Amino acid sequence: MATTAGAGGSTDDNLLSASYAGAKSIYCCRAMLTTSAGVWLGDNPFRFSLTLLLYQLITIFGASSLTHVVLSRLGQPLAISQILAGVLLGPSFLGRNLWFAGRFFARQSFEQLNTIYVLSMVIFYFVVGVKADLSMIHKVGKKAVVIAVLGTLLPYVSVFLMATALKHKMPPRLTETPVLLVLSDRWCLTSYAVVSVVLSELNLLTSKLGRLAMSAALIADIIHLFAEACFGTFLLSGKEGNAMKALSGLLSFLGLVGIIMYVMRPLVLWLIRRTPDGALLSEASFVSVLLMALASGLMSEIIGFDFLAGPFFFGLVLPGGAPLGTTLVERVDRFVKGLLLPVCLAVGGMRMNLASLADATQWGWFEMFVVLCVVSKFVGVVLPCICCNMPHRDAVSLGLMMTSKGIYEVESAVRWKETEWPMGTRAKMVRGEQRAEGTRAKMVRGGGDHRCD
């Protein structure tokens, strides 16, 4: 049974149908062994963690594939199909059945999916960082820098001004919690990982607009990484009232950057030099590189920063060509994108409970700020393009590319599960991302198919 701390009661032993009480809830569950003796000896295989995990992976992968068969005919990207598959398996549909939720997606078994989810994200962002070409920033010139800065700052300013002007009219949950701050931080940023995946699926990576969008997104990611460190230092100083403790946080981030640049990177370059020309990394070298990527995520988490920041930055400073890039693509990329990432997106969909969207007023306010973020970012991207005499069709296509949302925003919504913010807020964020990305993908496909080389 699952008991909520302070509630004095008990709820059903499953994740999907239980009410979310926040990070301070305590749940008591039966211990799960790893393997069963089989049905012939009287065991129920679905009460054991290995069998249940394999079933969950197969179910998620199958549901994602079947959903994409239908939605691909409507021009929807794969990410939308995977999120919707999670919604179908979650508390909004199949998860409403207590037998299904308690038998196949029990609360204690979800920790396994969360572990796979985190490891998949770390490896995925590391691979994306390695495959990033930093030299393309110099090729596109100042235009990418202006697009990255204005396209990121304008949404922040818009949200701040709107929240200040309507502060006395907004619901308390939006004014008394940092939800708008986190919303603007996540939705005003264009994730390089998301843009690369979307453009790859739309076959626009080799276009001039695609390279410009990826360059601007990469610049925005790098700026956001260091700005977040400085802003986090400021917040820590105000919260703790101790300037030295805040300074220690910033110094720890700079220390992480130093370790990656002057310890890990030279080790990887040494492993690359030991690899014969035309060959892949040896198994020992390949495992060593992956362990360093995991270690960079561990250090990021320890010092209080995003656990994806370390692996992504570590990948950025490494050479993306042979043998490292080819080894990662050959041994990791297909497995992560084909099997593990669907789990990440489906988990985000499974966190969404449409029944929690009963408060139309709060939902309306939240959706208004989401729309404000998207529209102001679109304007911030299109304006520099028009000033540079770019054709209007290309400018609109670039604006749609730069407002793409995907795994980064889903990961942010899933992370809200670990806070005490209401389930409805997470559902609104996933729902908004799903609806916006579905519409945007069709518009980009229609407006950006032409090559601009």
pLDDT in tens, 34-44: 777 788 877 88
Question: Higher model confidence: residue 67 or residue 440?
Answer: 67
Residue 284 sits at φ, ψ, to 5 deg, of -65, -40
Rounded Cα distance between 21 and 52, Å, is: 25
When pLDDT is averaged across residues 131-160 and rounded to a whole number, the result is 82
Question: CB-side exposure of 415: number of CA atoms within 13 Å?
Answer: 15
> Cα(355)–Cα(371) distance, rounded to whole angstroms?
22
User: Is residue 426 situated within a structural domain?
Assistant: yes
| End position of a domain, from candidates 110, 140, 162 | 110
- The answer to whether residue 356 sits within a structural domain is yes
Is residue 158 domain-shared with residue 104, that is, in the same domain? Answer: no
pTM value > 0.75: yes
Cα–Cα distance measured from residue 388 to residue 208, given in angstroms and rounded to the nearest whole number: 15
Q: At 453, list the tokens.
A: 């080389």
Q: Residues 255, 260, 261, CA angle at the centre, nearest 5°?
A: 95
What is d(CA 110, CA 350) in angstroms, rounded to the nearest whole number?
Answer: 11
Note whether 96 and 182 are same-domain residues.
no
> 87 lies in a domain?
yes
289 in the same domain as 160: yes
Q: Give domain status of residue 453, yes or no.
A: no
**Counting beta carbons within 10 angstroms of the beta carbon of residue 283, is it exposed (0 to 12), middle (13 to 18) or buried (19 or more)?**
exposed
Does a structural domain hold residue 6? yes
**CATH classification at residue 365:** 1.20.1530.20
The stretches of 329-422 forming alpha helices (DSSP H) are 334-335, 341-350, 360-387, 392-402, 407-415
- 97 in the same domain as 127: no
For residue 41, is it within any domain? Answer: no
Higher pLDDT, 236 or 438: 236
pLDDT at 47: 80
Of 110, 142, 159, which residue is a domain's last?
Answer: 110
Q: Which token pair is 160?
A: 């701040």
Peptide bond into 342 cis (omega under 30): no
Same domain, yes or no: 70 and 115: no
Q: Are residues 204 and 321 in the same domain?
A: yes
| Shared domain check, 285 and 297 | yes
Q: Which of 61-65, 103-107, 159-163, 377-381 has the lowest mean pLDDT?
A: 103-107
Do the domain assignments include residue 151?
yes
Residue 107: pLDDT above 80?
A: no
Average pLDDT (255-278) is: 92
Q: How confident is the model over 23-27, as a mean pLDDT?
A: 58
- Final residue of a domain: which of 61, 94, 110? 110
With vertex at residue 451, the alpha carbon angle to CA 384 and CA 398, rounded to the nearest 5 degrees, is 30
Residues 258 and 180 in one domain: yes
Q: CA 27, CA 296: separation in Å to the nearest integer? A: 31
Assign 20 a pLDDT band (cuts: 50, 70, 90): very low
CB 192 within 8 A of CB 217: yes
pLDDT band of 428, cuts 50, 70, 90: very low
In tens, the pLDDT along 67-105 reads: 989 988 887 878 888 888 888 988 888 888 888 877 788
What's the structural domain count of the chain? 2
Helix (H, G, I), strand (E, B) or coil at 204: coil
State whether 68 and 125 are in the same domain: no
Q: Which residue has the higher pLDDT, 146 or 426?
A: 146
Q: Do residues 276 and 418 both lie within one domain?
A: yes
Instruction: Look at residue 452 and tell me if it is in a domain.
Output: no
Over residues 254-266, mean pLDDT: 93
**pLDDT for 237 beyond 60:** no
Polymer length in residues for the chain: 453
- Based on the fold, state whether residues 18 and 167 are members of the same structural domain: no
Percent of the chain's residues with pLDDT above 70 = 79
Whole-angstrom Cα distance, residue 131 to residue 215? 13
Indicate whether 248 and 312 sit together in one domain: yes
pLDDT for position 240: 59
For the stretch 176-189, pLDDT in tens is: 777 777 777 777 77
Strand partners, 3: 10
CA quadruple 23, 25, 29, 34: dihedral, nearest 10? 10
- More confident of the two residues 27 and 81: 81
Domain assignment of residue 195, given as a range:
111-447
